[in-house]
Amino acid sequence: MRNQHKILSINPGATSTRVALYLDERPLKVEVIRHSPEDLSSFKGALDQLDYRKELVLEFLRENEVKVTDLAAVVGRGGPFKPLESGTYRVSEKMLSDIHSGEVQADHPSNLGALIAHEIVKGTGVPSFIVDPVSVDEFIPEARISGLPQMERRSLSHALNMKMVARKAAKKLGKKYEELNLVIVHLGSGISVSSHRRGRMIDVNNANDMGPFSPQRVGALPVTGLAKLCFSGEYTQKEMIQLLTKKGGLLAHLGTDNVEEVERRVDGGDQKAKLVYDALVYQIAKEIGAMATTLEGRVDAVLLTGGIANSQRLTDCITRKVEFLGQVLIFPGEDEMEALTLGGLRVVSGQEDAKKY
């Protein structure tokens, strides 16, 4: 009988810390620990929350009567680190140093994943890992160039979920991920549309900067109009970034970021809601077509995933516009806990080697 591996996965987000205990591929316990604004108000930045969140994870282990030494690995979410290839990385002193010193691309709670994992296993001999961080970067050189030398295109995306569904799709298609050309779309509060050529994500829109608008983000904008808005005196820099990344898209047009509510309005005859909804579908499909050109039209499948891929209406609308490219496969939801666990499991079970940060 093969060895079984008990793995703890940790995913810190803006208002929650998701924790999961798996036995190989089987979830034993999954919990979402919520953090109220009051809980977080005393912390200046994400890194200041380390001890607070670590203690909550340790309490999760105590409640489930699990010792750290019972674990085969602890896996944390990887944040917007330096550009990295896809894979599972062992948490190292260099990684920890970069996070603590701010040598990352953004101050985000996901940076805590590696820190919490490291703190929990310290002195036990249990390994800690991160998997497919936000900063997975496998761009071909021409994908980096924008219209200004001062602004290189950056690879920041929902890589963790997209890489997982790529492997699931490959299994469904009876091939290896490394044999396929895929366009993968993560549909969430931000939308990432990516092209994958034989196991590498060669291009993706940064959902904060470009691509289709989404429930909360503005996507690509007319740049001269944006420049005028920035210098209008109406917004500070902080307010402008909030507008572009948290208050745009569906929320700006319709006062809600809930796709189901928008669909109800459409069914109720709201013509503005219908126009904006149709525009959302149009922009997503257009970006899929653009990514297909990076694969020279040789697309084995288009994959739709993420939280709002639970809307069959939305995925049907997108499918009708892009199915001429090839089959469209739907993987609704975003099970990042499974993705983290499977990444750690592939290493501890000997299927692949951990990468060096």
Q: How many residues does the chain have?
A: 357
Same fold: 6-138+337-348 with 159-332:
yes
Distance (Å, whole) CA 13 – CA 347 = 25
3-state secondary structure of 275: helix
Cβ(152)–Cβ(145) below 8 Å: yes
Q: What is the pLDDT of residues 89-109, one digit of tens each?
A: 999 999 999 999 999 998 889
Distance (Å, whole) CA 242 – CA 240 = 5
**pLDDT for residue 2:** 62
The domain limits of the chain are 6-138+337-348, 159-332
Q: Are strands 200-204 and 181-187 parallel, antiparallel or unpaired?
A: unpaired
CA dihedral sign, ordered 292, 220, 306, 28: positive
And the tokens for 299? 């697309």
Distance (Å, whole) CA 112 – CA 47 = 7
Q: What is the pLDDT of residues 94-150, one digit of tens each?
A: 999 999 999 999 888 999 999 999 999 999 999 999 999 999 999 999 999 999 999
And the tokens for 105? 């691309």
Q: Rounded to an integer, what is the distance from CA 103 to the centroid of its chain?
A: 20
CA dihedral sign, ordered 230, 233, 239, 242: negative
Q: How many angstroms separate the Cα of 324 from the Cα of each of 277, 285, 288, 321?
A: 22, 11, 11, 8
Query: Where does 236-353 show beta strands of DSSP type E?
Result: 301-306, 327-332
Query: Where does the chain show beta strands of DSSP type E?
Result: 6-12, 16-23, 26-34, 73-77, 88-90, 128-131, 181-187, 191-197, 200-204, 301-306, 327-332
Going across the sheet that includes 6-12, the strands are 26-34, 16-23, 6-12, 73-77, 128-131, 88-90
And the tokens for 174? 């009876």
Cβ(194)–Cβ(183) below 8 Å: yes
Q: Which residues of the chain have pLDDT under 50?
A: 1
What's domain 159-332's superfamily in CATH?
ATPase, nucleotide binding domain (3.30.420.40)
Distance (Å, whole) CA 183 – CA 175 = 16
3-state secondary structure of 84: strand
**pLDDT for residue 127:** 98
Query: What's the one-letter identity of residue 72?
Result: A
Q: Are strands 26-34 and 16-23 parallel, antiparallel or unpaired?
A: antiparallel
Place of tokens 């680190």: 81
> 224: buried, middle or exposed (CB in 10 Å: 19+, 13-18, 0-12)?
exposed
**pLDDT for residue 158:** 94
Structurally, at CATH architecture level, domain 6-138+337-348 sits in 2-Layer Sandwich (3.30)
Least Cα distance to 28 among 77, 62, 66 occurs for: 66
Q: List, in order, residues 6 or more apart from 347 with CB less than 8 Å away.
A: 73, 88, 127, 129, 353, 354
Cβ(4)–Cβ(73) below 8 Å: no
